[in-house]
Structures are given as structure tokens and as C-alpha cells.
């Protein structure tokens, strides 16, 4: 096993040994010991009933509410909003240990870290340069200040978000070159572009919005044109070593600070910079933006760390609502509670909040559950005064209603449809029950439900998790079982299995916390596996372990039979066909014994 982030494993072991997770965590949260574990209300999401558990023996934490996991280093990273190296330094100082800087990472990783640090400095220097431009007294900054004034932004808000001004295409390259940065680093930062061999400010002439990550690092910029042109009104920095738009949300840094100050019951998701800033200034500080990009699973998981309740507040025009619909499924897949904020036609959150905080709060109060919004969106495509349009709307709406599992919610939705269309409840219910079983509602074409095969795969994933969790925590009933007899197709499962097997071969103790030294603690599959730690003890668990092993062995045999059957059909050499037939016969016989 290589050391975490390239450190000598002995250093990391000593660091963790001198920083007991319970002692470290107790300086941030109030812990209550119950049985073998310590419990608290999770510091990473708002809750009233403690579901955050620390396993002191194995030195890792897991929240059964939001699913986060990690060791003492990861805990400090999250609580102090720092990176891995920052957390190591904090813990080393606490333990009065010196950090072996010269041993940090491999040569390649060390070079990558140096590159990243340099790019971060370029971004920070650029942000300071833009901010200085805004208040420099240069007349070229007047349009930027006038725009800020027209949008009603207070000086404290401008400072809070670090807004700045690019006055031309040349002064920033000259300024950064004077700082001694190399041409390659300046290009790689995304701040500068190149044309005809000359570097230029990629945001030349625009109002600047620094994009800051959860660690308070400037990683990119958004820029807005201040006059009409053939170019895009808004422009983001190109993706770089620091900036991946799939993994960041605008204002996530302020949201993280807010969470440190108070519980966050919900997060408002908007599209753009000005929507975010205007809402924040009006008192809606729990707001982030996707910066005009499509919502991703990474965004959803990032949001979930702050709250599972999301208010989706995109523009009130039809195009904005289509974008809303695309993103909703992603949040739904992450089991988040989603409500859609209806806005007046043609207005965005910035337009509404200009009328006062109460005007936007009124929209929030009217937020619709996800399924209601889907019906609302469908209705907007039809003219219900036309008989043919009304019929098409009813047909589409009923397909949406059918996706709801709750009978009481279905009844409520049918009553609303009755009010909107004038069709009797009984007729709507009858048509709902007569819908073809396989038909999906319009717009759901990409939402694939579990087939029998998918359900089978899902069941075996759960079996694999249980087997690995039981082995990982050395449950007595797993003694003697050879994990190498099983194959794991999931990458996380395979990595956990390799770790367990390496410990068994070397005679080392299996330490669950060691997983966080080579696996990202935020991997969903790792957290699902750790969710089982409360279910792996006792006779019932032992029986489930046996059944799970058998299910996985059966799956392997079935796959082997399928491959051998295919190979037999394709083989032309008689001797080889005989060998395959023998292997196939053995596999089929093995499969029968597992049934």
C-alpha cells in the first residue's frame, strides 16, 4: 500500500495515531457515546436526530443520513475548508509533528502540485488586478461601475463577490508577465488567450465575476459584456487544471461559510451570476448557480452535502423551464427533495427580487413539487380551450401521474386535472388505469426503469456490498472464507477486495479507515458499503452473508456459461471445441449445485 498523497506510510500512521478522531471531532461537535461508537448531529448537513457516527476502534466516521465518510484527515479538510495538505499541517501542528515536505508525493505528483499552486496564484493575482481596476478612477471603468449601479448592487456586495473590471486586452498580460510567471503557466491558467503569437486578456473589456471553489480559491472567471456585440454576453474561463465546470457551483464558498454559521434547510439553485448576487444581497444567502451549464451528477452530489431540499429557480420563460426539466431528473436520482419555483413569464430571479425580497419570497412560497411541475410544464404546451389540445394534454398528464407511487398523491393530482380540464374524476381515473403498461410520458424517454436484468444486477450489487462490509469489519462468521474466489466488476468493490486480500496475505490487521488513503471518501458506492456497518452483526447477518456469497458465485457461473457457450459456437478447431465443452459441462454442473 502506498502512502496517502505520496507521504511515507509510517508518517501518516503516526499522524493519525497521535490525532484520535474522537478527540479531534469533539473540538468541533458535541459527541455522545452509545455502545462502541460516538454519535452526533452531522456537521455536514442539518438534522435533529444524530446519525453521524464515529467508529473509534477503526478511526473513521460515517453519517447514515447524508452518507459522508472519511478519516481524521478528511474530517479536518471539511471542517476547516482546506485541502489535504492543509489538513495534514493542522493535524501535524496539533500533534507537534513536523511535516516531511521533501517526501510529499512522487516526482510527478509533486510537479503537478507545484503547477496547481502556480495557477492558483495567477488566478488570485488576476482577481486582485480586476478589483483594483474597478476602483482605479480610470474612465474606462465607468461603464462597469454604471452597470453595477443600474443593477442596484451595494459596495459591500461588490466586495463580497470580488467583482472587478477588465479595461482592455493588454494590461493584464503585461501585469502578470511582470510578476515573473512563465508564458506556459499564463496560458494554462485560462486567464489569457493567444492570438498571432500574442497573449491577451480572455475576458477583455468585461465585468468580471471571480468563480471561487469551496476551499476559497479563485479557480476561474466569468465575464459580462457591457455593450451589444456579436460575442456571447457571458463568457466563462475555459476548463483548466483548476476549473472543471461539472464540479463547481457559483457561490459555493459562501454557502459553505453559511453552513458553518447556521443549519441550512434548503438551497436555491439559479442559473446565473446576477441572479445569485441579487438574491444574496436581498437576504437569500442559501443560493448557488450553475453558471448557465447543464446540471450534472457532480453538481447534485455537491448540493447534497449542504441540503437535500432544493428550490430550482430558473428563468420564467419556456426555454428556461425546459432547462429546469432537464436538471430535475439528476437531482431526483440523488434522492433529493426538489421543488420548482414558478416565476412570472419572461422574468428571472434577478428581475423578481428587484421588486423586493417579499416578491421573491412569494414565488418561493408557491414552489411546486417535482411531479406538479412536470404537469405544469406539459400544460404550457397546449391551448386547453381547443378540444384536441386538451385531449393531448390529458393524455400526457396522465402518463406523468402514473409515475407517482403514492396513491394519495395520485388522487390529489387527478383532482387538480379535473379542475383544469373539466373532465370528471372517474373518467380520468379510468383512463389512468387503462394506460399501456410500457408507455412512458413525453420527456421521459431517457428515464429507464429497472428491467428484470437491471433488478438482478442491483440485487447482486447489494450482495457484494454486504460480503465486503462483513469481511472489512472482520465479522467472525467470515473467518475462513476466501474472498479471492469472487470477482467484483465494480471498481470500488474490486479495490476494497484487493485491500482485504493484501492484509490477509501479509498478516496485517484490516483497518477500514485505510480505505480513505486510496479511495475518495465521497464515492457513492463506498458510502453505500459503509452504510451496512450497522447490519452485519448477528445470526440473521450470517445467513445473509452465506446467501450473498452464493448469489455472487451463481452470477459468476452464469457469466462463465454464457462466455463458454459463445466461444463453443465460434470455435472451429475440434480439439479446442472438446476442451470448451468440458469446461462448459463443469460450469453448468457447478451452477446446478448453487441453485
Cα separation, 580 vs 564, whole angstroms: 7
Beta-bridged to residue 592, according to DSSP, are: none
User: 389 or 317: which carries more pLDDT confidence?
Assistant: 389
Q: What is the pLDDT of residue 98?
A: 85
Residue 133 has a CB neighbour count (10 Å cut-off) of 21
Distance, CA of 233 to chain centre: 28
Contact 267, 288 (CB under 8 A): yes
Q: What is the pLDDT of residue 230?
A: 67
The per-residue pLDDT for range 292-346, each reduced to its tens digit, is: 777 888 888 788 778 889 999 987 655 555 555 666 777 877 778 889 998 888 8
Q: What percent of the chain is predicted at pLDDT more than 90?
A: 40
The two beta strands, 52-55 and 198-201, are: unpaired
* Res. 101 pLDDT band, cuts 50 70 90: low
| Span of 106-110, 169-173, 206-210, 325-329 with lowest mean pLDDT | 106-110
Q: What is the pLDDT of residue 380?
A: 82
Contact 260, 253 (CB under 8 A): no
Contact 291, 282 (CB under 8 A): no
Q: Which residues contact 80 (CB under 8 A, 6 or more apart)?
A: 86, 87, 90
Q: What is the pLDDT of residue 324?
A: 58
- Give the three-state DSSP class for 340: strand
Q: What is the pLDDT of residue 319?
A: 53
Q: Which three cell numbers stand for residue 260?
A: 458553518
Contact 231, 134 (CB under 8 A): no
* Res. 183 pLDDT band, cuts 50 70 90: very high
User: 292 or 162: which carries more pLDDT confidence?
Assistant: 162
* Res. 106 pLDDT band, cuts 50 70 90: low
The answer, yes or no, to whether residue 143 has pLDDT greater than 80, is yes
- Give the three-state DSSP class for 76: helix
Q: Specify burial of residue 573 (Cβ count, 10 A radius: 0-12, 13-18, 19+).
A: exposed
Q: What is the DSSP string of 235-304?
A: EEPPP-SS--TTS--BTHHHHHHHHHHS----EEEESSHHHHHHHHHTT--SEEE-TTSPP-HHHHHHHH
The two beta strands, 368-369 and 337-340, are: antiparallel
Q: What is the pTM of this model?
A: 0.63
Amino acid at each position: 500500500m502506498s502512502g496517502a498523497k505520496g507521504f511515507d506510510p509510517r508518517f501518516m500512521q503516526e499522524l493519525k495515531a497521535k490525532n484520535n478522531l474522537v478527540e479531534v471531532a469533539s473540538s468541533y461537535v458535541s459527541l455522545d457515546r452509545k455502545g462502541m461508537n460516538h454519535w452526533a448531529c452531522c456537521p455536514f448537513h442539518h438534522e435533529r436526530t444524530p446519525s453521524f457516527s464515529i467508529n473509534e476502534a477503526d478511526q473513521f466516521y460515517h453519517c447514515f443520513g447524508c452518507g459522508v465518510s472519511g478519516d481524521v484527515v478528511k474530517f479536518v479538510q471539511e471542517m476547516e475548508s482546506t485541502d489535504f495538505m492543509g489538513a495534514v499541517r493542522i493535524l501535524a501542528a496539533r500533534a507537534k509533528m513536523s511535516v516531511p515536505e521533501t517526501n510529499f508525493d512522487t516526482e510527478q505528483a509533486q510537479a503537478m502540485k507545484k503547477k496547481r499552486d502556480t495557477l492558483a496564484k495567477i488566478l488570485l493575482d488576476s482577481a486582485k488586478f480586476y478589483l483594483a481596476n474597478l476602483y482605479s478612477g480610470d474612465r474606462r471603468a465607468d461603464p462597469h461601475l454604471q452597470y453595477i449601479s443600474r443593477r442596484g448592487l451595494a459596495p459591500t456586495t461588490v466586495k463580497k463577490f470580488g467583482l472587478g473590471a477588465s479595461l482592455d486586452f493588454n494590461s493584464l498580460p503585461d501585469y502578470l508577465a511582470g510578476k515573473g510567471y512563465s508564458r506556459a503557466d499564463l496560458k494554462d491558467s485560462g486567464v489569457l488567450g493567444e492570438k498571432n503569437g500574442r497573449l491577451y486578456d480572455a475576458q477583455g473589456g468585461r465585468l468580471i465575476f471571480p468563480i471561487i471553489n469551496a476551499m476559497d480559491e479563485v479557480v476561474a472567471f466569468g465575464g459580462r459584456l457591457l455593450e451589444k456585440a456579436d460575442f456571447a454576453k457571458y463568457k466563462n474561463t475555459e476548463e483548466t487544471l483548476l476549473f472543471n465546470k461539472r464540479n463547481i457551483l457559483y457561490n459555493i464558498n459562501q454557502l459553505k461559510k453559511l453552513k458553518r454559521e447556521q443549519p441550512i434547510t434548503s438551497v436555491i439553485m439559479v442559473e446565473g451570476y446576477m441572479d445569485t448576487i441579487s438574491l444574496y444581497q436581498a437576504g437569500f444567502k442559501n443560493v448557488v448557480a450553475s453558471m448557465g451549464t447543464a446540471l450534472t451528477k457532480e453538481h447534485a452530489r455537491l448540493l447534497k452535502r449542504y441540503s437535500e431540499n432544493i428550490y430550482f429557480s430558473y428563468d420564467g420563460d419556456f426555454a428556461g423551464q425546459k432547462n429546469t426539466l432537464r436538471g430535475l431528473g439528476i437531482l431526483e436520482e440523488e434522492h433529493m427533495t426538489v421543488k420548482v419555483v414558478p416565476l412570472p413569464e419572461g422574468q428571472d430571479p434577478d428581475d423578481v427580487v428587484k421588486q423586493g425580497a417579499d416578491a421573491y419570497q412569494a414565488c418561493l412560497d408557491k414552489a411546486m413539487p417535482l411531479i406538479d411541475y412536470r404537469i405544469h410544464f406539459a400544460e404550457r404546451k397546449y391551448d386547453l380551450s381547443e378540444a384536441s389540445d386538451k385531449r393531448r394534454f390529458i393524455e400526457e398528464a396522465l402518463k406523468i401521474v402514473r409515475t407517482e407511487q403514492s396513491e394519495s398523491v395520485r388522487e390529489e393530482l387527478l383532482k387538480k386535472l379535473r379542475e383544469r380540464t373539466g373532465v370528471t374524476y372517474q373518467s380520468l381515473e379510468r383512463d389512468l388505469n387503462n394506460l399501456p403498461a410500457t408507455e412512458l410520458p413525453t420527456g421521459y424517454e431517457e428515464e429507464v426503469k429497472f428491467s428484470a436484468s437491471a433488478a438482478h444486477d442491483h440485487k447482486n450489487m447489494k450482495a457484494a456490498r454486504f460480503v465486503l462490509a462483513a469481511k472489512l469489519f472482520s465479522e467472525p462468521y467470515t473467518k475462513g472464507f476466501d474472498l479471492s474466489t469472487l470477482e467484483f466488476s465494480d471498481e470500488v468493490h474490486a479495490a476494497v477486495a484487493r485491500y482485504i486480500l493484501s492484509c490477509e496475505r501479509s498478516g496485517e490487521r484490516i483497518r477500514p479507515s485505510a480505505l480513505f488513503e486510496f479511495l475518495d471518501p465521497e464515492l457513492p458506492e463506498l458510502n453505500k458499503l459503509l452504510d451496512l456497518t450497522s447490519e452485519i452483526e448477528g445470526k440473521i447477518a450470517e445467513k445473509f452473508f452465506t446467501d450473498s456469497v452464493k448469489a455472487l458465485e451463481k452470477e459468476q457461473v452464469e457469466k462463465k456459461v454464457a462466455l463458454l457457450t459463445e466461444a463453443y459456437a465460434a470455435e472451429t478447431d475440434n480439439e479446442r471445441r472438446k476442451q470448451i465443452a468440458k469446461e462448459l459441462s463443469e460450469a453448468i454442473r457447478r451452477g446446478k449445485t448453487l441453485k
